[in-house]
């Protein structure tokens, strides 16, 4: 099961903090995150590695990105 998190419009470090909280509370093995800045994309990519997740895909989405992350097996 996959969940969608929309952190567009939030200033750093909010996108990272919202994503981290969702990782901690989610029962899903995969999450999709909508971001609207390169900085948020890069910071989320760095953070997920520290908690045992990985970036599976980054898709350009309008003026931002759709990041798919998943638990490392």
The CATH homologous superfamily to which domain 2-71 belongs is TusA-like domain (3.30.110.40)
Write down the residue that tokens 């952190």 correspond to: 7
Say how far apart CA 6 and CA 36 lie, in whole Å. 9
Q: Domain-by-domain residue ranges, the chain?
A: 2-71
Model confidence pLDDT, tens digit, residues 15-50 = 999 999 999 999 999 999 999 999 999 999 999 999
**What's the confidence (pLDDT) of residue 73?**
79
**Alpha carbon distances (Å) from 57 to 12, 41, 67, 73:** 21, 11, 6, 16
Say how far apart CA 36 and CA 34 lie, in whole Å. 7
Written as six digits, the tokens of 60 are 């350009």
pTM for the full predicted model: 0.93
């Amino acid at each position: 099961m996959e969940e969608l998190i929309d952190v567009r419009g939030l200033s750093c470090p909010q996108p990272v903090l919202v994503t981290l909280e969702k990782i901690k509370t989610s029962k899903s093995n995969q999450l999709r995150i909508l971001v609207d800045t390169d900085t948020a994309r890069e910071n989320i990519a760095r953070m997920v590695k520290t908690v045992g997740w990985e970036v599976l895909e980054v898709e350009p989405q309008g003026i931002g990105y759709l990041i798919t992350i998943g638990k490392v097996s």
